[in-house]
Amino acid sequence: MFFKSNLGLILLCCRPMTDKHLTDISFKSLNLAPELLQGIEDSGFSHCTPIQANTLPIVLTGQDVAGQAQTGTGKTAAFLVATFQHMLQKQAEDAPASKQPKALILAPTRELAIQIHKDAVNIGRHLPFKLGLAYGGTGYESQRKQIEEGIDILIGTPGRIIDYFKQHVFNLKQLQVMVLDEADRMFDLGFIKDIRYLLRRMPEPEKRMSMLFSATLSFRVQELAYEHMNNPEKIEIEPEQVTAEQIVESVYYPAKEEKIPLLLGILKNIPDARLVIFVNTKRVGERVDAYLQGNGYKVALLSGDVPQNKRTRLLKEFTDGELSIMVATDVAARGLHIPAVSHVINYDIPQQAEDYVHRIGRTARAGAKGEAISFACDEYVFTMPEIEEYIGHKIPMESIGPELLVEPKPPVKIERKHHGKKPHGQKGRPGERRHSGKPHHRKSSSPRKPAS
C-alpha cells in the first residue's frame, strides 16, 4: 500500500506472509553481490521482513531513507545489507584505497553498538571489509589501535567516536555511507549535539548515502533527516497496533510493599520462564536483584553503572541461557536482540509511554509469542492512562490473590562501590552516558525515597 504523508515523504506498507513477520520478498531477488548473499544465507535469512522489503529496493538504488518500524523487525540487517552492497559497488568502481572509514554506523548505547558489530561480522563474513568498534567504558587503547591500523566500517557510540576524531585517529573525508540507528534514543540520551557535530564534518549529503532508523519518527527526528540527508524517503511499517500482536499484556495494581512478594509469586508460577524485569532506577534494580538472589534465583543485573566487561559477560550468559532472569534499567530496552525471552515484567511502570513499547518489545521477537506483566504501584501509576492512550487499548487488569503474595526471605547484602578517579587510559567520555548535551561529569543525584 502506498500513500503520501503531509510532509511529501512516502509511507510504504507491505503484506506479510502468514507467519506475520516475513514477506514474500527474498534476498535473492534483490540482485545482491554473491558473497554478500552467501553471508545472509549463512546467517539464516532467506526472506525479508517488512522493513527490509520496503527499504532495500529503494536504498540499493542510492536513495537515502528514514525508516520506522517496531523494535525487533530487522532494521539492523536492512542497513547492514545496504551498506555492504553500496561499498562493494564503490569498490568495483576502483575507488582509491584508504585506511579511513568508508562507512560510519552510530548507535546510542554500547550494547546496541556491540550487537550491530556482531551482526555485521555474521552477514559480512565473506566480504573483504575491516570492521572497527568504538564505545566507552573499556578498551580505549585497543579500540584506538584498531582504528589507526585502518578500517572500512566504523561502528560505535557518539562520545568515543568524537574523542578519536578530535585526536585525528581517523577522518571522515572518505565516507560513503552514514547510518544513524535509534535516532529518537539519541535525542533522549542527549547525544544530538554530538550527532550534528559529526554530520557537519562528513561529505555533503549528496556525496554519501545516508540511512536513519528509529522506532519512532518524531518531528525532531524528521527535522534532523531533512537537514543532514539527501531528500530521504520515509518508510514506515504500519502495524495494526503499536504493541506486537503476539504479546499478551496484563497489569497488577499492588501497594509498594507488595511488589517483591508479588514478583516472587509470579516467578513461582512460571518456573521455566526466560524473562527481563525492568526497573526505573539503579537502586531499585539492586534491591530487586538482592531479593531474588536471597530467594534462590540466579540473576543478571544490567544497569549503566555495571562495568562494561561485566555487562558484556552478563549479556552473553543471559543470551546463552546460563541465566534465565535479567533485571535491567532502560539501558537494555533498546536495540538489543536477546532471543527467546518469554516474559517481560515492568516492576516499575515506565515514565514515558514509548518506553513501555520498547520494553515489552524484548519479548515476542520475530513472530514468537510473549507475555508482558506490569506492576502499577502508587509511585508510577499516573503514567498508565498515557500508556494506554499511546498503545490504543486498555491493558487487562489482574487481581492480586493471597496465593500470589509470597513471603520473601531476606535479601543478600547490597555492595555499593564508591567510584574514585578514572583509571589511567580512560579518556574522553568512557561512560557514554550524557543528558541534555552536557558531559556526564556530575555528582550523584540527590537521594530519593527508596522504591520497592
Would you place residue 252 in the very low, low, confident or very high pLDDT band (cuts 50, 70, 90)? very high
Q: What is the model's pLDDT at position 8? A: 38
Would you place residue 447 in the very low, low, confident or very high pLDDT band (cuts 50, 70, 90)? very low
Assess whether pLDDT exceeds 80 at residue 331: no
Q: Which residues contact residue 96 at a Cβ distance below 8 angstroms, ignoring those fewer than 6 apart?
A: none
Q: What is the model's pLDDT at position 95? A: 59
Q: What is the CA radius of gyration of the chain?
A: 22
Q: What is the model's pLDDT at position 433? A: 44
Using CA atoms, how far apart are residues 408 and 410, in angstroms rounded to an integer?
6
C-alpha dihedral over 436, 78, 331, 406, to 10 degrees?
140
Strands (E), 254-329: 275-278, 299-302, 325-328
Using CA atoms, how far apart are residues 138 and 245, in angstroms rounded to an integer?
39
**CATH number 2.60.260.20 is the correct assignment for the domain at 247-404:** no
Query: What's at 55, amino acid-wise?
Result: T
Q: What's the grid cell of residue 54?
A: 520496503
Packing angle of the helix pair 192-199, 158-166 (nearest 10 deg): 40
Q: Which residues contact residue 53 at a Cβ distance below 8 angstroms, ignoring those fewer than 6 apart?
A: 14, 23, 25
First to last CA, the chain: 48
Would you place residue 130 in the very low, low, confident or very high pLDDT band (cuts 50, 70, 90)? very high
Q: Do domains 2-236 and 247-404 have the same CATH topology?
A: yes
The residue ranges of every structural domain in the chain are 2-236, 247-404
Q: What is the model's pLDDT at position 438? A: 42
The DSSP line for 233-252 is: EEEE---SSSS-TTEEEEEE
Q: Which pLDDT tens digit goes with each residue over 347-377?
A: 999 998 888 988 888 887 666 788 999 999 9
Would you place residue 176 in the very low, low, confident or very high pLDDT band (cuts 50, 70, 90)? very high
Q: Which pLDDT tens digit goes with each residue over 24-72?
A: 999 999 999 999 999 999 999 999 988 999 999 999 999 999 988 766 7
Q: What is the model's pLDDT at position 440? A: 43
Q: What is the model's pLDDT at position 144? A: 96
CATH topology (fold) of 2-236? Rossmann fold (3.40.50)
Region 117-135: what's the mean pLDDT? Answer: 96
Quote the pTM value: 0.69
